[in-house]
Structure formats: structure tokens, C-alpha cells
Amino acid sequence: MTLSTKITRRPAAWTFISGKIAALESELPPRSFFDAILKSENAAEVRSALGKSSYRSLFPDDKSLANVSAIMDAKGKEVRADLFKLCPPHPLENYFGIGSRFRSFRTLFTRLSAQQSVPAGDLDALFPVFAVESEYADRMTGHRRMLNRKYPPQQAMPMERSLYLDSAACTLMGIVGESVPEEPARRYMLDRAVLTAWSGIFRARWNGVSADMIRSWFVFGRNAEFTAEVLATENDPKQAVSGRLSSQSAASLETLDPARIRADIDSASADVLRGTVLDCRRVPFGAERALSYLVAIEVELVNLELCLSAVANNIDRAVTASRLRREYA
């Protein structure tokens, strides 16, 4: 029996962690924290702007800013690990670990694909590790079968393989989300999977990838028509995806200006999900409370990486400020 089939609603088991999260939320930085970083002229000023925050120790010298992505990834892993040590077993741990595991999955898949005549079975063996649970890996049939087709991803061009791998991550998000019993946590996870696939398709298309290539290689979940339906609505990006979201997220999506979506579709997706995150935050005890805090940390890490990268790489501060996610504090 897998973890996902064992989970039941046990509010009492979440009492301690819910109380701890309430205390941790008081430490979440406001928008002014990120604005101060963006006003920095150089790396030394950035490190000063980090002040007494927990991030100050992560950047002991100016050169460390060059590794901001790796440092933020490690910090996210640390926060999640500390939290899940205290939580009852739950698919949340798998779900929020998909991003970090995906980077390893992508690296290993690409490395093996570079070998001549790599056996499909060697690549197929990566999926149970990526999915963590055999039940989840068994449901990734679309992607695993593609390893044995006439022109498989291991022989594909880098962009084709990237679309294939990105869609595998989106598919896993949906599979794990389906195993969650709590509302609105399940709703958030499923909507996020759909929006992540949606944004991935349009980002590729708007960056010049052909529609035919995207249709051939981006396979989301068990719906073979999803990618084609999304691509058919390029002039009205909201059209194809709104019917696949919960009513709350669909209503939020409708309020977004199309120009906002084109400017930063990932940030727009985060805004669509914000209402559901706040619903989770209002649950006094339960997995929902942990989910809302984990999303808050994700927003914090994304915003911090954007700000630090802007200073380190001399990126336009106004553009960076426009891309910041809405802070949770």
C-alpha cells in the first residue's frame, strides 16, 4: 500500500505544526525587504540589505551572489525538510519536492541520452526515482511509453527533449495532487499543475518554438488533446485553460489582463492561485496550513532570487520589480 492511499484527515495530528507555522509566518518579510535589495548598487550593499535575516549567512562574500540559484534551491530544501520532520506523512512532501527532484531527473536523463544506444530501460528506471512512489510512476504511462517510440526523447533535439521533460514534471504534479483528500489543498495542487503546464506551453510558443514541436513533445497527464487545445487559443490564452480549473481559480483568471499574462505568465499563474492559498491559510489545523506556508516560502525565495540576480547581473530594477510575486506577509 502506498503513502497516498493511507492518508486520511487527522486534524489533531497537525496541531503542533500548525502552531509552529503561525509563529514562522510572523518572520516572513514584507515587500519593503525586497524593495531595499533592489535599491542596492552593488553586491556589498545587497548583503547589507539582507540585514539580520536568515539569508545573510548564506552570502558570506560578494562572489557568493553568483551562485544565487543553487543557494536558494538548497535553502528551499532545508526549509521543507525541517517542516516535514514535524508533519504527519502526507503527499505534500512529494509535491513540493518535485522541483528539486526534477532538476536531478533532467540532468540524469540528458546525461544518459548523450550515450550511444542507451537502453530505454535505463531511462525508464529514472521515473520511479523521480516520482518517489511506484503508484505515481506507474501512472506516468504516456511519458514512459514514448521512450520506445520510433523517434524517442533520448534521440531528440535538446528543445524537444526539454518539452518532454517539462511536461513530465507537470504530469507528476497532477498525479500527486489527485491523491490529496483535503480541500482546498487538493484544489490548489491540481490547479497549479494545470497552470504550470499552460504556462510552459505558452512560454515555449512565445519564445519561437513551433506549435507542431510543442504538440509532439509536451504531453500533459492523460489528456492527449490538452496541448493542442491550449495552442489553439494563442490569441486568447485564458480560453482553453479556464474550464480545467476550479471555479475560484477560473474566476481569478478572468480578471487578468491578457497583457499581464504575456508579460509574465508564471507570475500571473501565481496570482490566480493566491485566493486558494489564502483559503488554506485560514484553516486552523491541517495539511492546508502547511501548504500555505510552503507556498509563502516559495514566493519569498523566488522574489529574493529575482532581486539578488538583478543586482548581481545589472538587470533593470523596474522590470525586476514588476516580476516580483505578491508577497505573503
Model confidence over 275-286: pLDDT tens digits? 999 999 999 989
pLDDT(110) > 50? yes
Per-residue pLDDT, averaged over 127-132, amounts to 98
Say what the pLDDT of residue 39 is: 93
- pLDDT of the residue at 4: 45
- The answer, yes or no, to whether residue 216 has pLDDT greater than 90, is yes
Residue that finishes a domain, picked among 190, 221, 244: 244
Tell me the helix, strand and coil percentages in the chain, rounded to 5: 70, 0, 30
The CATH number given to whatever domain includes residue 51 is 1.10.132
**118 lies in the same domain as 227:** yes
d(Cα 217, Cα 160) in Å, to the nearest integer? 6
- pLDDT tens-digit series, residues 14-71: 999 999 999 999 999 999 999 999 999 998 899 899 988 889 999 988 888 889 999 9
Residues 74 and 202 in one domain: no
SS3 for 157-209 is CHHHHHHHHHHHHHHHHHHHHHCCCCCCHHHHHHHHHHHHHHHHHHHHHHCCC
Domain's final residue, options 227, 244, 261: 244
In this predicted structure, what is the pLDDT of residue 223? 76
Is 266 a domain residue? no
User: pTM, whole model, 2 decimals?
Assistant: 0.91
> Is residue 73 located within the same domain as residue 175?
no
Over residues 165-173, mean pLDDT: 98
pLDDT digits (tens, 9 = 90+) for 217-262: 999 988 779 999 999 998 899 988 999 999 999 999 999 999 999 9
> Length of the chain in residues, anyone?
329
Q: Please indicate, yes or no, whether residues 178 and 226 belong to a single structural domain of this protein.
A: yes
CA distance 69 to 233: 33
Structural domain boundaries enclosing 193: 91-244
Domain endpoint, select from 244, 272, 304: 244
Same domain, 117 and 146: yes
How far is residue 217 from each of residues 139, 166, 210, 226, 266, measured CA to CA in Å? Answer: 18, 10, 11, 12, 21
pLDDT at 328: 63
Residues 83 and 198 in one domain: no
Is the same domain home to 297 and 154? no
What's the pLDDT band for 1 if we cut at 50, 70, 90? Answer: very low
The per-residue pLDDT for range 176-211, each reduced to its tens digit, is 999 999 999 999 999 999 999 999 999 999 999 999
pLDDT of residue 326: 82
